[in-house]
Amino acid sequence: TTTLIEMFERSCRAQGDKALFERPGLAPIGFAEALDRSRRLARVLRDLGVRPGDRVAVQVDKSPEAILLYLATLTAGGVFLPLNTAYTGAEIDYFLGDAEPRLFVCRPETLEAHAGRATESLAVETLGAAGEGTLMDRLAAAEPLAERAAPGAEDPAAILYTSGTTGRSKGAVLTHGNLASNCAALLDCWRFTERDRLIHALPIFHTHGLFVAANMALAAGATMIFLTRFDADEIITEMADATVLMGVPTFYTRLVQSPRLDAVSTAGMRLFVSGSAPLLADTHAEFSARTGHAILERYGMTETCMIASNPYDGARRPGAVGFALPGVEIRVADRETGAPLPQGEIGAIEVRGPNVFAGYWRMPEKTAAEFRPDGFFITGDLGLIDAEGYLRIVGRDKDLVISGGYNVYPKEIEALIDELPGVLESAVIGLPHPDLGEGVTAVVVPREGESVDPAGLAAALADRLARYKQPKRVILADELPRNVMGKVQKAELRKRHAALYQ
Ligand code: ATP
Ligand code: MG
């Protein structure tokens, strides 16, 4: 089997000194240099005791060196385990206790807090935002690792913790086969080649920034314009010399707020991808009106890498996530029985294929509970296949509202609310209700400088929705709570307003 490292090595042979990383105001780093440094870093990891199968936990700022550390870990046969930089004390205790890494790489400024963790079986090293720290100090004196590991498709390559949108993050064990097969499918679907120049402004501790964006550039031999955070103005400037942007929906809602976004500033771009959370149809329409580009929305999750994508050629439908990637099977099944449902009916989205993870790290029961006997993984998302065969996501199973015994799918109501004048966005949630079990509740964010009248909004919905779907209460808010990936945290909203009907 081919692995990501083999794909990267092939890129390095073909691209030589071409830039892999470009950063505004800093020297580029070429493919050949990246290969050499990742090989020497792999040697450092070996010297620190990392053997095939050992976990390398990493909580560092985004930098090219952090990507080199990822490559070095795979080269040494280790299992890469990136951690959200927002996690602190007790959370880190949980992850390190759970994953039992051989090596923990932290930011230099947190070394004091973590130095005490070092034991016989856990080394602690540092890596800073500018590449400084003990790890790169060691690299300077290291020879390249002569024999790189040759893992099989079933061997673990990474443990990625889920975003924690619905509860505590779970560690998903991804294999070399998962990463390589998914990367190859995406390269093919999105026509991504060494001629591309990718604007990379996503965090690299999640599947989107690491296994979609970075892997594709590494495997294709494409240059990454590597930005440490999202800044709409900077991104529009970079578009002059780029071809592809991969982002979360908030990237796009912020880009359309810039007067600089137009057909001219995006003229050299060939593809805008959105994923990780639903893209508002409004944003899709506005972006296309302003630039002439139809954003391509895709769907994936930590446990499965990417699952479905709107077509590269052909209609990119707002509100839909498109078709299964090559080699991936999607079905919509009854939530309770698992029986496949006919087209058009809403049910649990299930998926099978070489993209599906090996299981949750050290949670065999949880893993078993999320798979059907025939190997389909239950994603936890609800959706349907529409008349044209596009997959449409209607929300998460956990966010389904059951009011008076009826299923209420929040997205249907949110879409109507979002179209009303003065509304920026909304979240529909179910809150404990003495009569109904759950009361349908709308949390609505007005557009800047505009106001929304809750009673008027409720009235506007009255003749457009069945009575049981109509919000019992409308709550106005300045913004919706989101995690780092820009996902709305409905669990947090439910907690905040838990007592509304009590
Ligand atoms: P946790 O599992 O810890 O609660 P999470 O599910 O948000 O967090 P991820 O694996 O990062 O963690 O996110 C995957 C989820 O993101 C999917 O299950 C789906 O709900 C959502 N998602 C991804 N892409 C899209 C999309 N294009 N439209 C709607 N939802 C999407
Ligand atoms: Mg999830």
Q: Give the strands of the sheet with 377-385, arranged side by side.
A: 329-333, 347-352, 377-385, 391-396
> Distance of CA 69 to CAs 56, 76, 153, 162, 171, Å?
9, 10, 21, 21, 20
Closest C-alpha residue for ligand 1 atom 1: 164
Q: Which residues contact 6 (CB under 8 A, 6 or more apart)?
A: none
Distance 346 CA to ligand 2 centre (A): 19
Q: Is 134 in the pocket of ligand 1 (CB under 6 A)?
A: no
pLDDT at 41: 98
* 169 has a pLDDT exceeding 90: no
Q: Is 165 in the pocket of ligand 1 (CB under 6 A)?
A: yes
Q: Return the best residue to mutate from 381, 396, 409, 489 for the ligand 1 pocket (most ligand atoms within 8 A of CB).
A: 381
> Distance of CA 192 to CAs 9, 221, 243, 271, 308, Å?
17, 10, 10, 10, 16
Distance 276 CA to ligand 1 centre (A): 5
Is 340 within 8 Å of 331 (Cβ atoms)? yes
Q: Rounded to an integer, what distance in angstroms lies between the CA atom of residue 366 and that of residue 99? A: 16
Q: Rounded to an integer, what distance in angstroms lies between the CA atom of residue 458 and that of residue 462? A: 6
Q: Is 396 in the pocket of ligand 1 (CB under 6 A)?
A: yes
Q: Is 65 in the pocket of ligand 1 (CB under 6 A)?
A: no
Question: 391-414 in b/e burial notation, b at 16+ Cβ within 10 A?
Answer: bbbbbbeebbbebeeeebbbbebb
Q: Return the best residue to mutate from 95, 160, 165, 307 for the ligand 1 pocket (most ligand atoms within 8 A of CB).
A: 165
Is 29 within 8 Å of 64 (Cβ atoms)? yes
pLDDT at 230: 95
Q: Which residues contact 141 (CB under 8 A, 6 or more apart)?
A: none
Q: Rounded to an integer, what distance in angstroms lies between the CA atom of residue 383 and that of residue 370? A: 17
Ligand nearest to the CA of residue 304, numbered in listed order: 1
* Proportion of the chain above pLDDT 70, given as a percent: 100
Cα torsion 276, 281, 282, 285: sign: positive
Q: Return the best residue to mutate from 302, 399, 409, 483 for the ligand 1 pocket (most ligand atoms within 8 A of CB).
A: 302
* Helices assigned H by DSSP within 227-311: 232-238, 249-255, 281-291
pLDDT tens per residue across span 332-373: 999 989 999 999 999 999 999 999 999 999 999 999 999 999
Ligand nearest to the CA of residue 300, numbered in listed order: 1
Find the mean pLDDT for residues 223-237.
97
The minimum-distance atom of ligand 1 relative to the CA of 380 is: 18
Ligand nearest to the CA of residue 169, numbered in listed order: 1
Find the mean pLDDT for residues 108-128.
96
Q: Is 487 in the pocket of ligand 1 (CB under 6 A)?
A: yes
Amino acid sitting at position 293:
H
Distance 338 CA to ligand 2 centre (A): 19
pLDDT tens per residue across span 398-421: 999 999 999 999 999 999 999 999
Q: Rounded to an integer, what distance in angstroms lies between the CA atom of residue 267 and that of residue 291? A: 8
pLDDT at 1: 65
Closest C-alpha residue for ligand 1 atom 16: 276
The minimum-distance atom of ligand 1 relative to the CA of 393 is: 29
The residue behind tokens 């024999």 is 147
pLDDT at 89: 83
**Cα dihedral 381→387→389→391 (10° resolution):** -20
Q: Rounded to an integer, what distance in angstroms lies between the CA atom of residue 470 and that of residue 377? A: 33
Distance 301 CA to ligand 2 centre (A): 6
pLDDT tens per residue across span 20-52: 999 999 999 999 999 999 999 999 999 999 999
Q: Rounded to an integer, what distance in angstroms lies between the CA atom of residue 327 and that of residue 182? A: 9
Q: Is 164 in the pocket of ligand 1 (CB under 6 A)?
A: yes
User: Within 10 A of 462 (CB to CB), how many other CB atoms are there?
Assistant: 10
Q: Which two tokens stand for residue 153?
A: 């498709």
Q: Which two tokens stand for residue 170?
A: 């779970």
Residue 390 pLDDT grade (very low, low, confident, very high; cuts 50, 70, 90)? very high
pTM of the model: 0.94
Closest C-alpha residue for ligand 1 atom 28: 278
pLDDT tens per residue across span 435-459: 999 999 999 999 999 999 999 999 9
Q: Rounded to an integer, what distance in angstroms lies between the CA atom of residue 8 and that of residue 214? A: 11
Q: Is 171 in the pocket of ligand 1 (CB under 6 A)?
A: no
Backbone φ and ψ of 264, nearest 5°: -70, -50
Closest C-alpha residue for ligand 1 atom 23: 276
Distance 308 CA to ligand 2 centre (A): 16
Q: Give the strands of the sheet with 296-301, arranged side by side.
A: 26-30, 19-23, 223-226, 197-200, 244-247, 271-274, 296-301, 305-309, 323-324
Q: Rounded to an integer, what distance in angstroms lies between the CA atom of residue 241 and that of residue 250? A: 22
Distance 320 CA to ligand 1 centre (A): 14
* DSSP 8-state secondary structure symbol assigned to residue 267: T
Q: Rounded to an integer, what distance in angstroms lies between the CA atom of residue 105 and that of residue 472? A: 50
* 267 has a pLDDT exceeding 70: yes
Distance 169 CA to ligand 2 centre (A): 8
Backbone φ and ψ of 402, nearest 5°: -115, 110
